[in-house]
Structure 1
């Protein structure tokens, strides 16, 4: 099976050597998606309406902060459009990694109901090896593999098992969606039970769970802990996020924390009055620096950790 090189990233515009990524990454974002289930049109990033705004934001962040990579976690059933991702990537001049998998149960596509774990695994492996649809674009990560509640539903457990097996078979890493931060330990237990090493797993949305003990346990077992909804104040205050992140770093787990904004609807875009993809760099990280974070820690959190998750290899300090 054609595994990626340990130091190579699969992006929507081709392979990219990890050691050429010299600036920060956004490891949990959406550039194009459709989660609209009621016709309201809010939970959408439309490729036609919003692509120019998304491209403009990313291009500006590349110029101002050196943004060097975006991991785009829109998967099956979430309105994924990898051709649009490739256009945005080229126009913004920012590499983008695409994903495959299934989100949490309300967004599962019909095959999840009828297929078993082995069939779902084969679907993911085929997409990883041969490309998404007829595009030839291959995913570079499994995600965001979802569950909600403290324990995955039967359908969610099936998807998690399939994604874990596909990750193991292809050499890719896996990022989860833990709804409101809950259920991360159960996700980790299930995935590692399939043989996937914890260091190839990132448990999502942990900044929405005000429980430093859970964060320490996840990191202590080797998993990455995602503080990936930075700026979404309606869910959690950035003040709480800073406290939780500082606690994890002070506990010795700075090498397991990831930071991103999870922009997931047009209202979050800067041009529509939202915080934008740049909130992490413009607002959150200056606050973290004011609390004592130095350049090396910022580089660890925003560049070296995401690259290590994706490739399994350490990268040099800037």
Structure 2
């Protein structure tokens, strides 16, 4: 089956030329989600109760900041609902990229335990080629494929390797979940060990890891370094995030940075008093500008980098 040519984004409402994206992207978000293993209903973005609020937030961001694109990394076992993603995309008039893969081990679906790497790879490729379930909607990225701790567990290793092989077979890129920012180098070694080029890999949640040396090592390898939990002050302050980001920029690695907020609970929505999807634009980026980050660098980190990551393009191509 033919796959999208380079510089084409596969979105939930159809293919989109990457060079038509004139405004910023959110590189790691959730618009529909169910991670409610505790039964308290907190880690949920329900397709019935919360869709209108999500669409309204994205519409406001399009109108105020020119938001064009959301990379939605809810994958298998996380309450993925691509029909609702398509409805949100149409209502908000924003491109949305859906994902496939498996999250970290506590959220693995049953087939992980009894399937081989080859079988898991086949599952992912079938979704990428044929669409998710009966929807016909095809994922445009692999993610957020996860691990926790400094070294992935055996099931997490299996899933990461399957993700890399599916990426190689289909031309998509891989975004990871590194729990609390840990284990990113081990993830990168596993993925590149399967032959996947580093520039088609984004290592997640690095703004939760206060270790500039690790960030620089990941960026120097050619991988993307995701500062994607902006505004989640209960995990890390934005002041610390900004210090870590400035260190990476000053080291010459702005072309490896991805930025987002990772909204993953309905309590984070603005209409429930949370920081919302726009915290990056309303709060964090103004602080970055005040610290000397110019508009070209902001465009690089919020638009050109996500487009290059998704399409597998080289630095000079955007």
Measured against the shorter chain, the TM-score band is over 0.9
Q: Secondary structure at the match of 1:231?
A: coil
The aligned counterpart of 2:191 is 191
Deviation at 1:240, TM superposition (A): 0.3
1:4: how far off? 1.4
1:65-100 Cα shifts (integer Å, max 9, x gaps): 000000000000000000000000000000000000
Secondary structure (helix, strand or coil) at the match of 2:293 reads: coil
User: Gaps (5+ residues) in structure 2?
Assistant: none
Task: Indicate the residue corresponding to 2:228 in structure 1.
Answer: 228
Matching of residue 52 in structure 1 with residue 25 in structure 2: no
Over residues 244-269 of structure 1, what are the superposed CA-to-partner deviations in whole Å (9 max), with x where a residue is unaligned? Answer: 00000000100000100000010000
Question: What does the per-residue CA deviation read over 1:166-222, in whole Å, with 9 as the maximum and x for residues that have no partner?
Answer: 001000000000000000000000000000000000000000000000000000001
Aligned residues: 318
In the alignment, is residue 101 of structure 1 matched against residue 101 of structure 2? yes
What is the SS of the residue equivalent to 1:38?
A: coil
CA deviation after TM superposition for structure 1 residue 312, in Å? 1.9
**Equivalent residues of 1:229, 1:261 under 8 A apart:** yes
Question: Stretches of 4+ moved more than 3 A in 1?
Answer: 314-318
The answer for the alignment partner of 1:75 in structure 2 is: 75
Task: Spell out the pairing of 1:1-318 with structure 2 (5 A cutoff).
Answer: 1-313=1-313
Taking a change above 3 Å as real, the CA distance of residues 164 and 316 of structure 1, as seen in their structure-2 partners, is closer
- Residue 143 of structure 2 aligns to a residue whose secondary structure is strand
Q: Per the alignment, in what secondary structure is the counterpart of residue 252 of structure 1?
A: coil
Aligned-partner Cα distance in 2 for 1:224–1:25: 15
Q: Helix, strand or coil for the counterpart of 1:164? A: helix
**Cα drift, residue 37 of structure 1:** 0.3
What CA distance in whole angstroms lies between the structure 2 residues aligned with 1:26 and 1:20?
16
Structure 1 distance, partners of 2:295, 2:36, is 40
* CA RMSD after TM alignment: 1.1
Deviation of the 1:121 alpha carbon: 0.1
Q: Distance in 2 between matches of 1:192 and 1:87?
A: 36
Q: Is the partner of 2:245 in helix, strand or coil?
A: helix
Q: CA deviation at 1:3?
A: 2.1
Question: Deviation digits for residues 86-128 of structure 1, max 9, x if unmatched?
Answer: 0000000000000000000000001101101000000000000
CA distance in 1, matches of 2:316, 2:224: 19
Check conservation: 1:19, 1:315, Cα contact below 8 A.
no
Unpaired segments ≥5 residues, structure 1: none
- Does the CA-based 8 Å contact 1:307-1:315 persist in structure 2? no
Deviations 1:25-67 (A, max 9, x none): 0010000000000211000000100000000000000000000
1:287 counterpart SS class: helix
Secondary structure at the aligned position of 1:48 is classed as coil
Q: Distance in 2 between matches of 1:47 and 1:116?
A: 33
Inter-partner Cα distance in structure 2 for 1:314 and 1:97:
20
Please say if residues 199 and 309 of structure 2, whose CA atoms lie closer than 8 Å, have aligned partners that are also in contact.
Answer: yes
- Distance, in Å, in 2 between the alignment partners of 1:194 and 1:68 is 33
Cα distance in structure 1, aligned partners of 2:281 and 2:212: 24
Contact map agreement 1:18 1:315 (CA 8 A) in 2: no
Structure 1 residue 2: deviation in Å? 1.9
